[in-house]
Amino acid sequence: MVARPLACYVAAFSVGLAVAAAVTRAQPAASLKSVAIPRPSNLARYVANEQALVVLGKALFWDVQVSSDNRIACASCHFHAGADHRRPNQLASSDFPFSRGDMEAGRRVASAGIARRVAGEKEGRAHGLGVRQITTRNAPSVINAAHYFRTFWDGRASNVFTGRTPFGDSDSKPNLLVERDGQLVAEALRIENASLASQAVGPPVDDVEMSDPGRTWPMLGRKMLAARPLARQLVAPDDSVLGPLANRNGRGLASKDTYFALVRAAFRPEYWKSPAGAPEYTQAESNFSMFFGLAVQAYESTLISDDTPYDRFLDGDRGALTPAAQAGLQMFRVRNCTQCHPGPALTLATYSGVRGDAHSQGLGPDGGFFHTGVEPIPNDLGLGGRDGFGRLLSITGRNDPRLARWTAGLFKTPDLRNVELTGPYFHTGSKATLEQIVEFYTFAGDYPAPSLTPWGPDPHERITLPAFLKALTDDRVRFERAPFDHPELCVAIVESKDGTRPAASRRGAPVGAVERWASIPPVGAKGNRVPLQTFEELLRGIGSDGSRAHTLAAPCPTAAAVVSSLQPSF
């Protein structure tokens, strides 16, 4: 395979900005099984037992105790095929796709975050209803995210993990305390190939997603290290990772196991054994962000869905794809979808896309980011935004300020596996079905995008392209079989009191909203007997007869107990 520039896109950027549409590649001869995930550098310097690290990471990822109000886990935005298929404010099929007016107003379908604390409210009491915040972008799937060079839609989670923030080398502080010769020494942490760790340390201390304002990582460390893992949630005794530690007589893991015990099993002692530390905090509490980031990365790196019909087709099983799916694959290639979604990973935002491999030239650190044509660029600058230290997210723009303006509105290209299950779509959540996605690309998007050209309409493609996209679903994901099994979770469903459908705001639910808590039951290694519900099926009410999982109709049996036993917020 030989990479070649797309002249039209280079011209559009005038100086050849290294983004994904700058090259095109031939289809691969092998499946995602052939692609190894680069290991984080220097991991053995910090980690004593990698299997124990996965155990710690899975527990932390699914545990609602990580949030200030003990009601939100990392998994609350990634519980459904690695994504979130809740529909806020009683949205219906007729509300999709969003209109141009909706998009220009900045409308979003996104996840419910933490409730804003009501003025004068005492710590430890339930937050007021009607003020649960809404994140600013639709949550992408964490499945196969280990293949990305950078994470988040805007790439702000750096490939370099520095221990406390998502922003890599922008954060130059010595964020780690290590015991050397009987003394605690502050050291800088720098681990490459670790964007998942960088991503993981963002939401837990974000005051929209999971944290009350002012909470720090050492504060969270103090809370979690003393806690019993998943104490408020059921864990299946045959959970593929947590099952051996599950409490057979109640919730969470066995009573002898605290998070500090799991940390001690996973990490080298020079990072946790000293009772001293920063003022007010022990060494382990001070280092908790490193424990959290590396552990969650280790768990998420097990979530690889590489056994789809498409993967089996690439590995030589010519009967793995139906005739309609094979026709859709041909259209996928003819319509140049592979410019953004090439290779085994179906995205250029990967290590090989950025660094290159034996078959093609790497695009550099901004590889795999595109103008998507979804909404007006001023609404969301994407890669053209700035990190928490004020630095441009685009590495290309940092290196050459003349190029910075071309990075506004660029977003990371996602892998398409399991896309059937991960609606609503785009960073805006503005499309509900695969057919709407095909329609969108047929007309080259809703707003100008240099990488898109119109190519329709063609009624045949409206059948075959969705058929191909559905062949990208791994049945292990569809039925939540190992490694995609998980503990119990309650998720908030934010709705209006009167049943109307007010527009979702950028930062919060509409006044007068109510929330109910829906049950996501625990599932063990063998998975569910029925498949996951798609977002389209949720909108149409398909699956409420028990023929689908995660219909969000069943009330959470532990919701009342969670509300009545909230701990002080920290």
With 80 as the cut, is the pLDDT of residue 443 above it? Answer: yes
Which residue, 436, 452, 472, sits at the end of a domain?
472
- SS (HEC) of 469-499: HHCCCCHHHHCCCCCCCECCEEEEEEEECCC
Cα atoms in the 13 Å half-sphere on the side-chain side of 158: 24
Q: Tell me what pLDDT residue 496 has.
A: 64
pLDDT score for 118: 54
pLDDT in tens, 42-81: 999 999 999 999 999 999 999 999 999 999 999 999 999 9
d(CA 148, CA 547): 34
Of 430, 450, 472, the residue that ends a domain is 472
DSSP state of 176: E
- Which whole-number Å values give the CA distances from 230 to 225, 477, 507, in the listed order? 12, 23, 29
Q: What is the pLDDT of residue 57?
A: 98
Q: 111-168, pLDDT tens digit by residue?
A: 989 987 654 444 333 334 446 788 999 999 999 999 999 999 999 999 999 999 999 9
| pLDDT tens-place string over residues 251-284 | 999 878 899 999 999 999 999 999 876 678 999 9
> For position 131, what pLDDT does the model report?
61
159 domain-assigned: yes
Alpha carbons 60 and 55: distance in angstroms, whole number: 9
Are the C-beta atoms of residues 87 and 538 closer than 8 Å to each other? yes
Residue 542 within a domain:
no
In this structure, are residues 322 and 468 in contact, taking their beta carbons and an 8 Å threshold? Answer: no
- Residue 302 dihedral angles phi and psi, to the nearest 5°: -85, -10
Asked if residue 316 and residue 251 are part of one domain, the reply reads: no
Position 3 pLDDT exceeds 80: no
Instruction: Give the whole-angstrom CA distance, residue 387 versus residue 95.
Output: 33
Same domain, 294 and 361: no
264 and 166 part of one domain: yes
Q: What are phi and psi of 373, to 5 degrees?
A: 70, 20
CA distance 117 to 119: 6
Instruction: Note the pLDDT tens digit of each residue in 343-362.
Output: 899 999 999 999 988 777 89
Does 97 sit behind a cis peptide bond, omega within 30 degrees of 0 on the bond before it? Answer: yes
Q: Are 281 and 178 part of one and the same domain?
A: yes
Tokens of 57: 């990471």
Of 472, 488, 509, which closes a domain? 472
Read off the pLDDT of residues 190-218 as tens digits, 9 standing for 90 and up. Answer: 999 999 999 999 999 999 999 999 999 99
pTM of the model: 0.92
Residue 346 shares a structural domain with residue 292? no
For the chain, percent of residues with pLDDT exceeding 70? 86
Mean pLDDT in residue range 443-467: 89
The C-alpha atoms of residue 511 and residue 332 are separated, in whole angstroms, by 44
What is the mean pLDDT of the segment spanning 85-111? 90
**Domain-embedded: residue 522:** no
pLDDT > 70? residue 340? yes
So what's the pLDDT on residue 497? 60
Query: Do 198 and 233 belong together in one domain?
Result: yes
Q: Specify if 80 maps to a domain.
A: yes
Considering the domain architecture, whether residues 264 and 359 belong to the same structural domain is answered as no
Nearest to 492 by CA among 115, 58, 193, 56: 115
Beta bridge partners of 549: 532
Q: Which residues contact 72 (CB under 8 A, 6 or more apart)?
A: 64, 66, 113, 114, 209, 210, 492
Q: Report whether 22 contacts 14 (CB < 8 A).
A: no
Same domain as 203, residue 183:
yes
3 state DSSP class of 399: helix
Q: Are 203 and 487 in contact (CB under 8 A)?
A: no
Between CA 427 and CA 85 the distance in angstroms is 13
Q: Does any domain span residue 398? A: yes
- Check residue 156 and report its DSSP letter: -
pLDDT of 276: 74
- Name the least confident of 2-6, 119-123, 492-496: 2-6
Range name among 334-338, 426-430, 433-437, 527-531 with the lowest pLDDT average: 334-338
Region 310-314: mean pLDDT is 96
Report the SS3 class of residue 25.
coil
Q: How far apart are the two ends of the chain, measured CA to CA in Å?
A: 53
How far apart (Å, rounded) are the C-alpha atoms in residues 569 and 119? 14
Are 22 and 76 members of one domain?
no
Q: How many domains does the chain have?
A: 2
Residue 377 sits in the same domain as residue 279: no
Q: Check residue 561 and give its pLDDT.
A: 45
| CATH code, domain carrying 437 | 1.10.760.10
User: What pLDDT, on a 0 to 100 scale, did the predictor assign at position 14?
Assistant: 31
CA distance 125 to 194: 37
Distance separating alpha carbons of residues 75 and 111, to the nearest angstrom:
11
Chain centre distance of CA 146? 10
In 3D space, the residue among 62, 40, 385 whose CA is nearest the CA of residue 195 turns out to be 40
Query: Tokens standing for 93?
Result: 């099929």
C-alpha span between 5 and 10 (Å, rounded): 7
Collapsing DSSP to helix, strand or coil, 328 comes out as helix
Torsion-angle region of residue 383: left (phi > 0), alpha (psi -120 to 50) or beta? Answer: alpha
What's the alpha-carbon Rg for the chain, to the nearest Å?
23
Are both 109 and 191 inside the same structural domain? yes
Q: Please indicate, yes or no, if residue 498 is contained in any of the structural domains.
A: no
3-state secondary structure 90-137: HCCHHHCCCCHHHHHCCCCCCCEEEECCCCCCCCCCCCCCCCEEECCC
In a domain, 454, yes or no: yes
Closest CA to 5 of 154, 149, 15: 15
Residues 280, 255 share a domain = yes
Range of the domain at 298: 43-304+559-564
Tokens of 263: 């940390």
pLDDT of residue 16: 33
